[in-house]
Each structure stands twice: as structure tokens, then as C-alpha cells.
């Protein structure tokens, strides 16, 4: 099968064309895709046509499925496949998940290495997903800041009391299965590409070990402001057929609620198992 991989920005994102994942991939292609994933952090594999089981099979080219926390929310008939939808509500209002920059499920001791989306229904404009590159942001930090944060560890809970936004409450059954908080370094090293990255998540970081809360929040805010500069960004404009996989160890991401909410935005979502950040 002839296919090509081309960068989308100099630092983040690559698109793959000419590959039909439903036909299966050979060992060589699988290795090439996984190398491209570690190098580019976001892969956009164009022109796919997935049913939920085909989406699961495509995801497994990159690893093993990771169970999402909100077990009650899945595609009917497919308990492994989660979805994002603009038709969700919290009591009294519409709820758009992922509206501020974050990394997925960092409250776990071994958070998911990757998340994947596949669009089923898209608004006619808007609803982009933004990614910023946490390797580039770390590399560019002043030496004194690197020294200050190397070795610091943050406590990530399901929902921080300092979170800039609400999460929908978990069912009792799902809540029981949420693991104890993850305690993760602010600077982690990617096990495949060897690069250091900031590991930040204002939605879930409740404290930094050995720091007063106020100082910890100030530090997280300062690093987030630095990391979310436009020069570190790849902004994905969704097209039908895009199978997008991103590396939660390399990028943080956010959704944009900037479209007509009378239009439906609905995507299948899966995650892959990761390692304990180090």
C-alpha cells in the first residue's frame, strides 16, 4: 500500500494519506506509524470509514485500550467506545467537554498515553481541537525555571477544587472505580522519543508536593501561560474521515465551543494504556 506522512506544522502534527486502516496494516507500516506518532505527537489519518468495532481495531495499531472513567457514557452497544457530543448537559445547561487545555485522565497512576477521535457528525464550521507541544515549551523555558521545576511532583485528582471548569459528575458505580490520585512529575521524559515535556493539567492538579497551594497554583498558571503560546500550537480543523490520535505525554489539548449549538458535533473516542510518568 502506497501512503505518505507529511508534517502539518514544523513541531506538531502530521497527516497520513493513502492508507485504509480497515484493510489492516503490516508489521512495517505499523512500526512506521508508531514512529511517526512518537515524532509528531498528533497524527491525522485521513479518509477512514469506521464502525465502532473498526475504530477499535484501528486504535489497536497503536496500543492497548484504556477504560475511560465515565463508564456509563458509551456508544450504545459498544461499552468500550466513549463519545464526545455537544448534546450533553449538566443540570440546567449544555456541557462541552474539554473546553480548557488539559491532558486526559491524568488522575490515574498510569494515565492513557494516547487519545483518539473519529467524527460521526460535525458542525458546518468551528469546533476545532487545539493542541500545544509540551516538549517545545519545556525546551524553551529559561534555565532557572527548568531548575525550579525539575523534581517537583503534582497531585492529580479526578476534579481539582481549583479546576477552571466543572466536569459532569460520575455515576456511583464509575466513581467507585476511579483509582487513587496520580502523583506525577511536572517534567516527564517521553519513553519513546526521549524528550522532556511539561506535564500540566489545571483541571486535575490539586497541589504540588512541598508547596503552599497559592504558590503551586501560581506556578501552574505561569507554566500554562507559557506553554499555550500560539507558536507551540497545532489547530485541527475536523473533516469527515479524520482518524486523529494524539500523545497525552507530548501535547495538551482543548475543544472549542465556537459553533452553532443547533448543529450536532459527535465523535467516537478511545484511549490507550500508558505508563507511570517519570
Q: List contacts with Fe ion (CB under 5 A).
A: 98, 104
Any idea what the Cα angle at residue 253 is, between residues 248 and 256, rounded to 5°? 155
Rounded to 5 degrees, φ, ψ at 34 are -70, -35
Residue 4 CB, nearest approach to Fe ion (Å): 28
For residues 162 and 189, is the Cβ–Cβ distance under 8 A?
Answer: no
For residues 231 and 100, is the Cβ–Cβ distance under 8 A?
Answer: no
State which residue, 98 or 119, has the beta carbon closest to Fe ion. Answer: 98
Sign of CA dihedral 64, 109, 177, 41: negative
Residue 253 CB, nearest approach to Fe ion (Å): 6
State which residue, 47 or 126, has the beta carbon closest to Fe ion. Answer: 126
Nine cell digits for residue 56: 477499535
Closest residue to Fe ion: CB criterion: 98
State which residue, 19 or 104, has the beta carbon closest to Fe ion. Answer: 104
Question: Residue 187 in 3-state DSSP?
Answer: strand
State which residue, 98 or 127, has the beta carbon closest to Fe ion. Answer: 98
- The Cα–Cα gap between 230 and 123 comes to 24
For residues 84 and 255, is the Cβ–Cβ distance under 8 A?
Answer: yes
State which residue, 102 or 195, has the beta carbon closest to Fe ion. Answer: 102
B/e letters for 225-259, b = 16+ CB within 10 Å, e = fewer, are: ebbbeeebbbebebeeebbbbbbbbbbbbebeeeb
Residue 197 CB, nearest approach to Fe ion (Å): 17
State which residue, 98 or 277, has the beta carbon closest to Fe ion. Answer: 98
Residue 202 CB, nearest approach to Fe ion (Å): 13
Residue 104 CB, nearest approach to Fe ion (Å): 5
Question: Residue 177 in 3-state DSSP?
Answer: helix
Residue 84 CB, nearest approach to Fe ion (Å): 8
Amino acid at each position: 500500500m502506497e501512503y505518505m506522512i507529511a508534517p502539518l506544522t514544523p513541531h506538531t502534527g502530521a497527516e497520513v494519506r493513502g492508507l485504509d486502516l480497515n484493510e489492516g496494516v503490516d508489521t512495517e507500516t505499523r512500526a512506521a506509524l508508531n514512529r511517526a506518532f512518537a515524532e509528531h505527537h498528533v497524527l491525522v489519518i485521513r479518509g477512514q470509514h469506521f464502525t465502532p468495532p473498526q475504530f477499535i481495531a484501528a486504535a489497536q495499531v497503536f496500543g492497548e485500550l484504556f477504560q475511560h472513567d465515565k463508564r456509563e457514557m458509551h456508544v450504545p452497544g459498544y461499552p468500550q467506545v466513549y463519545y464526545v457530543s455537544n448534546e450533553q448537559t449538566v443540570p440546567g445547561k449544555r456541557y462541552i467537554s474539554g473546553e480548557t487545555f488539559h491532558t486526559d485522565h491524568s488522575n490515574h497512576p498510569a494515565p492513557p498515553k494516547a487519545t483518539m477521535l473519529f467524527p460521526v457528525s460535525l458542525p458546518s464550521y468551528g469546533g476545532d481541537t487545539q493542541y500545544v507541544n509540551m516538549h517545545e515549551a519545556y525546551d524553551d523555558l529559561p534555565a532557572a525555571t527548568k531548575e525550579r521545576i525539575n523534581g517537583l511532583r503534582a497531585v492529580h485528582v479526578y476534579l481539582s477544587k481549583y479546576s477552571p471548569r466543572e466536569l459532569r459528575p460520575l455515576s456511583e458505580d464509575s466513581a467507585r472505580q476511579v483509582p487513587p490520585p496520580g502523583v506525577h512529575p511536572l517534567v516527564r521524559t517521553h519513553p519513546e522519543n526521549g524528550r522532556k515535556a511539561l506535564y500540566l493539567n489545571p483541571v486535575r492538579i490539586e497541589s504540588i508536593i512541598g508547596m503552599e497551594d497559592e504558590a503551586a497554583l501560581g506556578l501552574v498558571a505561569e507554566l500554562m501561560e507559557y506553554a499555550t503560546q500560539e507558536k507551540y500550537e497545532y489547530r485541527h480543523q475536523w473533516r469527515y474521515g479524520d482518524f486523529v490520535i494524539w500523545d497525552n505525554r507530548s501535547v495538551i489539548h482543548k475543544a472549542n465551543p465556537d459553533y452553532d449549538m443547533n448543529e450536532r458535533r459527535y465523535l467516537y473516542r478511545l484511549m490507550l494504556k500508558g505508563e507511570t510518568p517519570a
